[in-house]
């Protein structure tokens, strides 16, 4: 299967509203601890591939990756469900129905926000099942305005262009055009490299990120965008107090600048915060070995 590794098993999980999520299990189902990896907006579970390879070298760990609704190989998000809150509910259903025993949850970008929504909406499940957590290149609040490291005037101009592009019927048609799809990743690679990756990125990381974004549904990009504007889940982080937690961020992140990493760590004073010099938003790719190492160490401390 596309993006899956040897020894991986891909399946469908159907949520309460009938949305089919593509879920991949790596490693033994008999492992005493499961790590669940949640990806970001416009991406899919493939971005976790190098982290999965390292984590599954430990046969005491089972790893589960999945595509959010509206992403990757999962069904499109139904009307009104392209929200972080719904993603938190999806994760709760997946944990309750398909994953037994204690879990470590790791979320990148919107995936981290999904874990926060889980804490906000399903606190008892977090208390009962979550043994550890990792928030990676994500935010708990104040995502608007996003300055992208630009001057205020230029950032406002870019934000205005974003709104017009997302509402453009011509752009939507271009995103859906099959004739363009094969070349889209190459076309958007320079922008992806600037926006999402940090200093001296590997070509493979640029290409994988661009493929994920290029293959993302236009409706996904448009429909999920507003859910970030009112994202404030500082209070939700209280669900993770007392749970061993990592907070990881890239110093060169333009989308969720490292100040967001510090805010999360401030809400969770017992958490371990690590920032990576030169890394951008795609920390799970850019610093895959270090991220996997941190998650692996966290998992080992729980055994």
pLDDT tens readout for residues 263-274: 999 999 999 999
> Residue 154 — pLDDT band, cuts 50, 70, 90?
very low
Is 220 inside any structural domain? yes
Residue 183 maps to which CATH number?
A: 3.40.50.1820
Q: Which residue has tokens 């989308």?
A: 255
Per-residue confidence (pLDDT) for residue 187, from 0 to 100: 84
The number of domains in the chain is: 1
Q: What is the mean pLDDT of the chain?
A: 89
In this predicted structure, the answer to whether residue 99 has a pLDDT above a threshold of 70 is yes
Residue among 64, 53, 80 at smallest CA distance from 21: 64
Residue among 55, 61, 62, 66 at smallest CA distance from 4: 66
Range of the domain at 13: 8-143+177-301
Is 90 inside any structural domain? yes
Q: How far apart are the C-alpha atoms of 149 and 154, rounded to whole Å?
A: 10
pLDDT tens readout for residues 242-252: 999 999 999 99
Is 231 inside any structural domain? yes
Distances (CA, A) of 55 to 60, 175, 226, 259, 299: 9, 35, 34, 28, 10
Q: Which residue has tokens 């190989």?
A: 73
Q: How far apart are the C-alpha atoms of 42 and 67, rounded to whole Å?
A: 10
In this predicted structure, the answer to whether residue 137 has a pLDDT above a threshold of 80 is yes
Is 149 inside any structural domain? no
Least confident of 49-58, 61-70, 163-172, 236-245: 163-172
> Residue 6 — pLDDT band, cuts 50, 70, 90?
very low
Is 151 inside any structural domain? no
Per-residue confidence (pLDDT) for residue 169, from 0 to 100: 54
Residue 42 DSSP class: T
Is 237 inside any structural domain? yes
Per-residue confidence (pLDDT) for residue 126, from 0 to 100: 99
């Amino acid at each position: 299967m596309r993006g899956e590794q040897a020894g991986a098993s891909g399946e469908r999980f159907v949520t309460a509203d009938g949305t089919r999520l593509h879920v991949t299990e790596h490693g033994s189902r008999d492992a005493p601890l499961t790590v669940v990896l949640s990806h970001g907006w416009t991406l899919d579970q493939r971005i976790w591939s190098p982290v999965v390879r390292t984590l599954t070298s430990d046969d005491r760990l089972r790893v589960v990756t999945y595509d959010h609704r509206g992403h990757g190989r999962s069904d499109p998000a139904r009307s009104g469900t392209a929200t972080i809150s719904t993603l938190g509910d999806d994760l709760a259903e997946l944990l309750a129905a398909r994953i037994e025993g204690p879990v470590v949850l790791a979320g990148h970008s919107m995936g981290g926000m999904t874990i926060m929504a889980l804490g906000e909406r399903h606190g008892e499940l977090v208390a009962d099942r979550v043994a550890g957590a990792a928030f990676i290149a994500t935010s708990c609040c104040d995502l608007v305005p996003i300055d992208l490291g630009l001057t205020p005037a230029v950032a406002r101009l870019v934000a205005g262009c974003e709104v017009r592009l997302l509402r453009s019927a011509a752009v939507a048609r271009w995103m859906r055009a099959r004739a363009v799809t094969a070349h889209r990743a190459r076309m958007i690679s320079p922008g992806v490299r600037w926006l999402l990756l940090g200093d001296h990125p590997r070509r493979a990381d640029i290409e994988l990120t661009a493929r994920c974004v290029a293959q993302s549904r236009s409706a996904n990009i448009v429909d999920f965008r507003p859910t970030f504007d009112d994202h404030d889940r500082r209070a939700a982080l209280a669900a993770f107090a007392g749970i061993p937690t990592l907070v990881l961020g890239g110093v060169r992140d333009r989308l969720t600048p490292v100040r967001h990493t510090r805010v999360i760590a401030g809400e969770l004073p017992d958490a371990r915060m690590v920032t990576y010099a030169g890394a951008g938003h795609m920390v799970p790719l850019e610093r895959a070995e270090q991220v996997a190492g941190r998650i692996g160490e966290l998992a080992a401390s729980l055994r």
